């Protein structure tokens, strides 16, 4: 496990903040898309791509790379923004999100853009694919040090296929598989506890032979520790239930399920309001960045 | 006249009968020996789908999925992403029936090198009844971009389809039958993905001329129907399409031009299957009188395979009747 210095934590927090700003700019320009999930997962994506993964943005097909399988494809603005900031492609391309001919499809398409490991959008299939990759890797190379990180939403756990994949992962004792669940408590129709209660979630995963950790999904150091511990788990798949705040970083949107599937503003027909809301969000984020910058870490 | 590469004894009383799934079992084992990247997945139907031959030879490359077809489709996609060539087998009703969206998004849209093997296709599943008789699978797979769709006629074609699928880089679906199917072709008969084969050519001295286009297990019935028609003074040929997609447009156009009318024959819904594919091709290129033999917008039911063929109008005399109706 890699220890993070306070300086590194601060740098990662600032990086996550920049990624959040890109997300707001992309969604505002696109006029449609999901806001809550991408903002809420920015810290986890930042930590993965800037602190954890064994990868090479200049050689995205490098065989030895760790794999990130995004199961809830609708949060792809955070994946795209993170990939661009990590150097997979130019930042300017982020503004083509959801436009005709763009490599940044509304939901990710493998092969369209460097760094996309699978096409996703229809919920519940990412874990199965990660399980397939992890199984194949064990066959290809018994001494492999690759990890397969599957990122999934909590609402997505309503899908039966996820539990099929969990059964298989548990049966096969896939210790190279790390599932990170975005536990933000919201889905399109409301709060997850109302739409389809998931608790006791940790116990359910345990019953499926997963090593389970619950962490604050915005605390870089806790997340880093949890991933490090998950990497060292022997003969069990791991799940990190990351408690996140939907739309984290933009307090006027936070915890509100109405931002799940909407961009800032009301949509394409109302450009003025969209721009105003985006400006408010960006100002909030920049203020937050100043606060992080000002932290005394000596 | 029968194509010269076919079995010498095709008469119904003499022809050998073997289930097409046996061809899959043999082909998979052979493919596994040729390429160590071939892996096999199955949903609790290992012996029934004949996956067990591979599983016994290569236990470390066989993955028991339990009864979870949706998971199997996406696990296959993940394995293919790591360089494996997964064959995922179950009954066609469940895979790709139940797992259609997973097949579409995680296999076809990803252009994953996964081979989907749908056993127990068609009403010839027999006594198990409609729930287990997949007669919509060709339609389901034919509309999906990137997907190759095969329907082998007999055990030899099933073996060749398996080997061809293993070599082909991309998603492939092929269907297999449960019951013993007449062995029409030989190990030497040509088989190529995307290519239709002329299996019977008409006697050119007959004035009337009807072309039969078959797929899958009904090749033998089609050949017997052609023989019967010839005996009744009607020139009849059989073009066999073991590949539904990519569709051999060129061969079908040529075949239609050489005949006055065309009859399609399939153990599948006539809507969306071979009949539809041929109708689309003919309407766009060479409008031709067409009759479609198959299941007409109904579910299957319990019964013995031979009884069901008669019941649903896919037996030899039904094909003859349809051919006479449109060539008359």
Specify the number of domains making up chain B.
2
B39, B65, B101: residue with CB nearest A122:
B101
d(CA A165, CA A124) in angstroms, rounded, equals: 9
Cβ density class B14-38: b for 16+ within 10 Å, e for less: ebeeebbbbbbbbbbbbbbeeeebb
Return the structure tokens found at B247. 């569709």
Q: Which domain holds residue A289?
A: 6-294
* A46, A48, A51, A54 alpha-carbon torsion, rounded to 10°: -140
Residue-level pLDDT, tens digit, chain A, 298 residues:
589 999 999 999 999 999 999 999 999 999 889 999 999 999 999 999 999 999 999 999 999 999 999 999 999 999 999 999 999 999 999 999 999 999 999 999 999 999 999 999 999 999 999 999 999 999 999 999 999 999 999 999 999 999 999 999 999 999 999 999 999 999 999 999 999 999 999 999 999 999 999 999 999 999 999 999 999 999 999 999 999 999 999 888 888 877 777 888 655 556 777 788 889 999 999 999 999 999 887 7
Instruction: Give A99→chain B minimum CA distance, Å.
Output: 19
**Burial tier of B175 (Cβ tally within 10 Å: 0-12, 13-18, 19+):** buried
**Burial tier of B328 (Cβ tally within 10 Å: 0-12, 13-18, 19+):** exposed
Which residues of chain A lie closer than 8 angstroms to B68, CB-CB?
Answer: 161, 164, 167-168
d(CA A151, CA B173) in angstroms, rounded, equals: 29
pLDDT value for A270: 66
CATH number at residue B227: 3.40.50.920
d(CA A97, CA A76) in angstroms, rounded, equals: 10
Domain assignment of residue A1, yes or no: no
Domain assignment of residue A120, yes or no: yes
pLDDT value for A208: 98
Which of B182, B209, B244 is the C-terminal boundary of a domain?
B182
d(CA A57, CA A55) in angstroms, rounded, equals: 6
The question of whether B69 is a catalytic residue gets the answer yes
State whether B302 and B212 are in the same domain.
yes
Return the number of other C-beta atoms located less than 10 Å from residue A274's C-beta.
21
Mean pLDDT of B269-273: 97
DSSP reduced 3-state for B122 = coil
Output the 3-class SS for chain A: CCCCCHHHHHHHHHHHHHHHHHHHHHHHHHCCCCCHHHHHCHHHHHHHHHHHCCCCCCCCCCCCCCEEEECCHHHHHHHHHHHHHHCCCCHHHHHHCCCCCCCCCCCCCECCECCCCCCCCCCCCHHHHHHHHHHHHHHHCCCCCCCEEEEEECHHHHCHHHHHHHHHHHHCCCCCEEEEEEECCEECCEEHHHHCCCCCHHHHHHHCCCEEEEEECCCHHHHHHHHHHHHHCCCCCEEEEEECCCCCCCCCCCCCHHHCCCCCCCCCCCHHHHHHHHHHHHHHHHHHHHHHHHCCCC
pLDDT value for A263: 81
Domain assignment of residue A194, yes or no: yes
* CB contact (8 A) between residue B66 and residue A122: no
State whether B147 and B52 are in the same domain.
yes
pLDDT digits (tens, 9 = 90+) for B127-159: 999 999 999 999 999 999 999 999 999 999 999
Contact A211, A238 (CB under 8 A): yes
The overall longest dimension of chain A from CA atoms, in Å, is 56
Which of B135, B154, B182 is the C-terminal boundary of a domain?
B182
pLDDT digits (tens, 9 = 90+) for B220-259: 999 999 999 999 999 999 999 999 999 999 999 999 999 9
State whether B46 and B154 are in the same domain.
yes
Which of B182, B206, B231 is the C-terminal boundary of a domain?
B182
* CB contact (8 A) between residue A69 and residue B78: yes
pLDDT digits (tens, 9 = 90+) for B56-102: 999 999 999 999 999 999 999 999 999 999 999 999 999 999 999 99
* Separation in Å, CA A255 to CA A37, A200, A217, A243, A251: 10, 21, 14, 12, 9
State whether B143 and B241 are in the same domain.
no
Instruction: Give A136→chain B minimum CA distance, Å.
Output: 5
DSSP B2-48: B-TTS-S--STTT--EEEHHHHHHHHHHHHHHH-TTEEEEESS-TTT
Q: Which of B69, B197, B227, B266 is catalytic?
A: B69
Test the B interface: residue of A61, A132, A168 with most B CBs within 10 Å = A132
Tokens 């050119």 — which residue? B204
CATH number at residue A246: 3.40.50.970
Quick one: angle between helices A160-171 and B69-81, nearest 10? Answer: 60
Q: Which domain holds residue B173?
A: 17-182
Domain assignment of residue B7, yes or no: no
Domain assignment of residue B3, yes or no: no
Specify the number of domains making up chain A.
1
pLDDT digits (tens, 9 = 90+) for A3-35: 999 999 999 999 999 999 999 999 999 988 999
pLDDT digits (tens, 9 = 90+) for B8-55: 999 999 999 999 999 999 999 999 999 999 999 999 999 999 999 999
Domain assignment of residue A79, yes or no: yes
Give the residues across from B236 on adjacent strands.
B210
* pLDDT > 90? residue B193: yes
Instruction: Give B20→chain A minimum CA distance, Å.
Output: 28
Domain assignment of residue A154, yes or no: yes
Domain assignment of residue B187, yes or no: no
The contact set of B with A (CB < 8 A) is 39, 60-61, 63, 65-66, 68, 70-71, 73-84, 86, 101-102, 105-106, 109-111
Domain assignment of residue B192, yes or no: no
State whether B233 and B315 are in the same domain.
yes
């Amino acid at each position: 496990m890699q220890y993070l210095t306070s300086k590194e934590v601060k740098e990662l927090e600032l990086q996550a903040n920049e990624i959040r700003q890109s997300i707001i700019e992309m969604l505002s320009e696109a006029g449609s898309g999901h806001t809550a999930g991408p903002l809420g997962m920015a810290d986890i994506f930042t930590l993965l791509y800037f602190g954890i993964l064994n990868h090479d943005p200049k050689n995205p097909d490098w065989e030895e790379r760790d794999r990130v399988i995004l199961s809830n494809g609708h949060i792809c603005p955070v994946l795209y923004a993170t990939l661009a900031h990590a150097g997979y492609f130019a930042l300017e391309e982020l503004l083509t999100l959801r436009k005709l001919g763009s490599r940044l499809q509304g939901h990710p398409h493998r092969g369209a853009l460097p760094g996309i490991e699978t096409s996703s959008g229809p919920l519940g299939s990412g874990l199965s694919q990660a399980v397939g990759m992890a199984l194949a890797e064990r066959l290809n190379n018994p001494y492999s040090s690759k990890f397969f990180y599957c990122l999934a939403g909590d609402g997505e756990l309503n899908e039966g296929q996820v539990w099929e994949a969990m059964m298989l992962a548990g049966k096969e004792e896939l210790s190279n598989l790390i599932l990170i669940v975005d536990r933000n408590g919201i889905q399109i129709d409301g709060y997850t506890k109302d739409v389809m209660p998931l608790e006791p979630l940790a116990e359910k995963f345990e019953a499926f032979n997963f090593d389970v950790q619950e962490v604050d999904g915005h605390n870089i150091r806790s997340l880093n520790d949890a991933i490090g511990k998950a990497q060292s788990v022997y003969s069990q798949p791991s799940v990190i239930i990351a408690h996140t705040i939907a739309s984290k970083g933009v307090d006027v949107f936070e915890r509100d399920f109405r931002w799940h599937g909407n961009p800032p503003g009301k949509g394409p027909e109302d450009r003025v309001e969209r721009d105003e809301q985006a400006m408010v969000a960006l100002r909030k984020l920049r203020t937050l960045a100043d606060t992080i910058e000002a932290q005394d870490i000596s | 006249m029968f194509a010269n590469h076919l079995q010498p004894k095709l008469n119904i009383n003499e022809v050998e009968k073997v289930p097409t799934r046996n061809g899959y079992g043999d082909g998979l084992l052979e493919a596994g020996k040729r390429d160590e990247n071939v892996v096999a997945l199955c949903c609790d139907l290992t012996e029934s789908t004949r996956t067990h031959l591979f599983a016994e030879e290569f236990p470390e490359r066989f993955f028991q999925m339990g009864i979870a077809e949706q998971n199997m489709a996406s696990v296959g996609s993940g394995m293919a992403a790591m360089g494996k060539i997964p064959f995922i087998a179950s009954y066609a009703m469940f895979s790709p029936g139940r797992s259609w969206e997973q097949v579409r998004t995680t296999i076809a849209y990803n252009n994953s090198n996964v081979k989907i093997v749908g056993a127990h296709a068609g009403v010839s599943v027999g006594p198990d009844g409609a729930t287990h008789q997949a007669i919509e699978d060709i339609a389901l797979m034919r509309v999906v971009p990137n997907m190759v769709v095969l329907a082998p006629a007999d055990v030899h074609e099933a073996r060749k389809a398996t080997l061809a699928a293993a070599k082909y880089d991309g998603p492939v679906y092929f269907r297999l039958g449960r019951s013993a199917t007449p062995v029409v072709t030989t190990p030497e008969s040509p088989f190529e993905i995307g290519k239709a084969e002329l299996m019977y050519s008409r006697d050119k001295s007959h004035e009337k001329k009807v072309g039969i286009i078959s797929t899958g297990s009904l090749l033998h019935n089609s050949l017997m129907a052609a023989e019967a028609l010839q005996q009744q003074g009607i020139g009849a040929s059989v073009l066999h399409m073991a590949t539904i997609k990519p569709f051999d447009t060129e061969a079908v156009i040529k075949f239609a031009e050489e005949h006055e009318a065309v009859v399609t024959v399939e153990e599948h819904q006539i809507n969306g299957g071979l009949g539809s594919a041929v109708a689309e091709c003919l309407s766009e290129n060479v409008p031709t009188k067409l009759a479609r033999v198959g299941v007409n917008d109904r579910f299957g039911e319990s019964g013995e395979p031979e009884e069901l063929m008669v019941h649903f109008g896919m037996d030899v005399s039904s094909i003859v009747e349809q051919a006479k109706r449109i060539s008359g």
